[in-house]
Amino acid sequence: MSKNYYVTTPIYYVNDVPHLGHAYTTLAADVLARHKQLKGYSVFLLTGTDEHGQKVEKAANAAGETPLELADRVVKRFQSLWDKLNISYSDFIRTTQERHKKGVLEFFSRVMAQGDIYLGEYEDWYCTPCETFWTETQLIDFKCPDCNRPTEKLKEESYFFRMSKYQEALLAHIEANPEFIQPKSRRNEIISFVKEGLRDISVSRTSFTWGIPVPGNPRHVIYVWFDALTNYITALGYPNESENMTSFWPADVHLIGKDILRFHAVYWSTFLMAAGLPLPRKVFAHGWWTVEGQKMSKSLQNVVEPNMLIDRYGVDAVRYFLMREVPFGLDGDFSHSAMIHRINSDLANDLGNLLNRSTAMVNKYFGGILPAPEELSELDQAYRAKTEALPGQVDACLDDLAFSKALQAIWEVISAGNKYIDETAPWSLAKDPALHGRLATVMYCILESQRIVFHLLSPFMPETAVKGLGYLGWQEPIRESGLAWGGLQADTKIIKAEALFPRIDEKGEV
Ligand code: MSP
């Protein structure tokens, strides 16, 4: 089995500053990357920015900048947010980089050389914000069916990609690979879309200039989606048979939002077929966040700024909330009250208290030195078995991108820990010197279970995991071997934990 793992985020347009939606996809990719890394995979996490096209050109004009000046400025915002959010990306690709432009030209030329790109004339309805052409029948009241904004009729000479040719091959691929497009409801939408018939699509523009010129005909620039999608291979070194290209293509998963599924599942797949390259193993479209029940939009001035959230709640609380609150694939709502509720109940109460009370007890009863366990009772065995089953459960959930379910499984073990303390009542055991050995066993089990829990939490909450493990005297790197029961050694110094997550009152004050 290959031990390489390649996960991507969309590359973000630079006409907008990063918001909650961008942070969400990138965070999900990071959690997967960190989890696979923990499991011993060699991981490549790619993110970046989509810098060409009319949208960016217009935004730059409006700001009195060149498109590249605008891009340079906004790219910094993305990169500093990813640092602040602890995103462990391997590479950050910008579509204005030479390495990318070179790869796109080669990709375009190869598809053209074999006859799947041809010159023709285009007349259809164009939605500028979506950079998409629509047929008249697709329009709703002459407005864009995706964003409901006005469209305009455009006629231009254009290069076309022979997408129609790949309709049957794509359908066959989707049907033979049930895992390819997820979630299932979205897969069905794509199947119906393909069955309705694929048209050849325009892959060049002459109405503006901010893009990669078509090889041999610089009056045209390459359509921004053709350019952007290719980032997933140019970042690996395409067209060179580079080591990264050989090791990491095809991608294990493209993470995207539901609005850009068609571009990935249909356009990108057929481009790859034409270029003779294998298709990504999975394309997963997540849902959209609303904010306090409303669509997030600049005009409503309710855009959630991830930097502000991190400053207010802390990076790991934000990471936890986004992965826990909504099953990946469904739409969800962001609200400060939901965020505060999660912090208080899951992080401060369940997770924080467990660490707090258990490390305090080892300090009180054993002077902070972890005792060796004696034989495990039935109760201890059951708790141990529950903990030992957890790594497999988390693996299975994350293979399905069920982040929230993985966290629920982890929280079941955390709750079992709090219950275990209540049932074993260490404070009573401590009163009877004859039960000293029993007390030692309980202390060992409770800390050992948490050590494994913190390992599994590390992809979601990297800083908290390191902090938690530090209190447990665990200095080794977080890796797969640490998932086995029995890692903590007797005589380890256990530090009484401070509150991992201070409670927040409803007004948001710590
Ligand atoms: N540049 C293209 C992607 C090219 S990929 C080869 C693009 N960029 S974008 O910046 O507009 O959007 C990036 C992502 O943000 C999309 O996956 C989109 O679904 C996501 N989101 C935008 N608003 C969102 C929410 N309100 N909630 C969740 N995700 C959202 O599209």
What pLDDT does residue 284 have? Answer: 98
Helix, strand, coil percentages, rounded to 5, for the chain: 50, 15, 30
Please tell me the residue having the least CA distance from ligand 1 atom 7.
12
- Assign domain 336-483 one CATH number from 1.10.730.10, 1.10.3720.10, 3.50.50.60, 1.10.1060.10: 1.10.730.10
Upstream peptide bond of 10 is cis (omega within 30 degrees of 0): no
Please check the confidence at residue 130 and state whether its pLDDT lies above 90. Answer: no
Distance of CA 38 to the CA centre of its chain: 16
Kind and range of the H or E run holding 218: strand 217-222
Q: Please measure the distance between the N-terminal and C-terminal CA atoms of the chain and give it in whole angstroms.
A: 48
Is the CB–ligand 1 distance for residue 146 below 6 Å?
Answer: no
Is the CB–ligand 1 distance for residue 21 below 6 Å?
Answer: yes
Please tell me the residue having the least CA distance from ligand 1 atom 19.
257
Average pLDDT for the chain? 96
Average pLDDT over every residue of 276-285: 98
What pLDDT does residue 156 have? Answer: 80
> Tokens 């254009």 correspond to what residue?
158
Is the CB–ligand 1 distance for residue 230 below 6 Å?
Answer: no
123 confidence band (pLDDT: 50, 70, 90): confident
Please check the confidence at residue 434 and state whether its pLDDT lies above 90. Answer: yes
**Ligand 1 mean position to 7 CA, how many Å?**
16
Distance of CA 100 to the CA centre of its chain: 23
Is the CB–ligand 1 distance for residue 51 below 6 Å?
Answer: no
What pLDDT does residue 16 have? Answer: 86
Please check the confidence at residue 41 and state whether its pLDDT lies above 90. Answer: yes
What pLDDT does residue 301 have? Answer: 83
| Higher pLDDT pick, 486 / 304 | 486
Is the CB–ligand 1 distance for residue 462 below 6 Å?
Answer: no
Could you state, in order of their start, the residue ranges of all structural domains in the chain?
336-483
**Ligand 1 mean position to 12 CA, how many Å?**
7
What pLDDT does residue 509 have? Answer: 57
